[in-house]
């Protein structure tokens, strides 16, 4: 068996977790890391990841070009931000060398949604150089898009899709508790969301993916955001939230076709949330009600979804891919 050569672009916490998991797979050979941080460049992935022995000799480079000159990968794992345009510009040189990319960039779930022109350019590069690019993750990438779409595979008719996700942020890491605005003034949090500096990224992309799969062209889409307000003082390992302060987010998206609501997604991530879960309710024939007790945990599972996607991405035809273009998700 020839092992798949994999490199990691972006060595923040998620990138480190990603490459550590990759190092555990006997079908992967980790060939390098890429990060702009001068404190990381030149070190080994083993040093940065507190590490797996298979990462001890593997180098961190400043650019993809430097890495490719030394150790060209088959696939780059890209974990460097949420914005489609930024990500595509980072990915282009990889695709030009025929290197495929699996990215956690939320907006790459449906690249043409935010960056239609860049996505088209990247698609042409991929097809010319036999490369594939996929954006995936847990959310977006699975629980509120791929899972409901998958369930409709047994549907005679689908009238409406409702998804719900409740995350108990108290059990999660500091970055998530910060991201949901723990301890901020609720008005401050509303302002940050309006400025695109807070809130769950990629929610409209989940809606777009479901719409794409169902062949629904949404004339109208809506995104609603409200901070969750602490009903009492909440103390976590990382934050001290007073009654009345922000303790999380409540975000919704809705898609309508010809004036009729077809999709509604409801996401709550907040401290001290009871009964965390993911749920899908499909109105149609047959009606379907699915529930994931406890929900699918975020970051650690996102990293898994990237690694697991690699073999399916490499089997797909070249181009900019979406999760509904490649084979059914599966652990590898």
**Binding residues vs a second copy (CB under 8 A):** 21, 138, 142, 146-147, 149-158, 213-215, 284-294, 296-297, 300-305, 308-309, 323-332
Distances (CA, A) of 99 to 6, 72, 77, 247, 273: 10, 8, 11, 42, 42
The pairing of beta strand 28-34 with beta strand 4-9: parallel
Nearer to a second copy, 181 or 276 (CB): 276
How far, in Å, CA of 52 to CA of 45, rounded? Answer: 9
Nearer to a second copy, 48 or 279 (CB): 279
| Nearest distance from C-beta of residue 236 to a second copy, angstroms | 21
How far, in Å, CA of 18 to CA of 22, rounded? Answer: 6
| Nearest distance from C-beta of residue 153 to a second copy, angstroms | 2
Residue in the structure block whose two tokens are 């399916």: 312
Comparing C-alpha atoms, which of 52, 182, 124, 1 is closest to residue 33? 52
Comparing C-alpha atoms, which of 214, 206, 209, 205 is closest to residue 257? 214
Question: By the 8 A CB rule, do 252 and 245 touch?
Answer: no
| Nearest distance from C-beta of residue 111 to a second copy, angstroms | 18
| Nearest distance from C-beta of residue 142 to a second copy, angstroms | 5
Nearer to a second copy, 189 or 209 (CB): 209
Nearer to a second copy, 41 or 297 (CB): 297
Question: By the 8 A CB rule, do 282 and 160 touch?
Answer: yes
Nearer to a second copy, 213 or 273 (CB): 213
Q: The tokens of 148 are what? A: 């409901």
Nearer to a second copy, 3 or 291 (CB): 291
| Nearest distance from C-beta of residue 38 to a second copy, angstroms | 31
Task: For the chain, state the CA radius of gyration.
Answer: 20
How far, in Å, CA of 323 to CA of 109, rounded? Answer: 7
| Nearest distance from C-beta of residue 307 to a second copy, angstroms | 8
Residue in the structure block whose two tokens are 């997604």: 265
- H/E stretch holding 184 reads none
Comparing C-alpha atoms, which of 181, 173, 167 is closest to residue 14? 173
In 128-245 the beta strands, taken as DSSP E runs, fall at 132-135, 157-168, 220-229, 234-235, 240-241
| Nearest distance from C-beta of residue 99 to a second copy, angstroms | 23
Nearer to a second copy, 183 or 295 (CB): 295
- H/E stretch holding 265 reads strand 260-270
Nearer to a second copy, 71 or 288 (CB): 288
| Nearest distance from C-beta of residue 128 to a second copy, angstroms | 21
């Amino acid at each position: 068996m020839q092992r798949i050569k994999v490199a990691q672009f972006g060595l923040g916490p998620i990138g480190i977790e990603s490459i550590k998991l990759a190092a555990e797979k006997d079908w992967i050979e980790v060939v390098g890391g890429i990060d702009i941080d001068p404190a990381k460049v030149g070190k080994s992935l083993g040093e940065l990841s507190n590490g797996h022995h298979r990462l001890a000799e593997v180098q961190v480079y400043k650019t993809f070009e430097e890495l490719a000159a030394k150790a060209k990968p088959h696939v780059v794992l890209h974990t460097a931000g949420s914005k489609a345009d930024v990500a595509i510009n980072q990915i282009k040189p990889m695709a030009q060398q025929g290197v495929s990319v699996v990215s956690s960039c939320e907006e790459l779930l449906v690249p043409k949604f935010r960056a239609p022109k860049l996505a088209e350019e990247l698609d042409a590069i991929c097809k010319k150089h036999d490369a594939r690019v996929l954006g995936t993750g847990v959310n977006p990438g699975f629980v509120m898009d791929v899972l409901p779409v998958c369930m409709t595979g047994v549907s005679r008719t689908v009238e409406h899709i409702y998804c719900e996700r409740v995350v108990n942020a108290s059990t999660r890491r500091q970055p998530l508790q910060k991201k949901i605005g723990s301890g901020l003034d609720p008005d401050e949090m509303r302002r940050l969301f309006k400025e695109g500096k807070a809130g769950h990224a990629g929610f409209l992309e989940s809606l777009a993916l479901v719409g794409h799969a169902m062949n629904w062209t949404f004339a109208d889409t809506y995104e609603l955001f409200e901070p969750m307000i602490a009903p009492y003082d909440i103390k976590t390992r990382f934050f001290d939230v007073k009654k009345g302060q922000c303790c999380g987010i409540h975000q919704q998206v809705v898609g309508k076709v010809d004036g009729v609501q077809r999709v509604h997604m409801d996401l709550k991530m907040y401290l001290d949330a009871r009964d965390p879960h993911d749920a899908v309710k499909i109105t149609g024939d047959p009606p379907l009600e699915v529930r994931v007790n406890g929900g699918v945990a975020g970051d650690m599972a996102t990293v898994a979804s990237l690694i697991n996607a690699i073999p399916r991405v490499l089997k797909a035809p070249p181009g900019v891919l979406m999760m509904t273009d490649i084979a059914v998700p599966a652990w590898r």
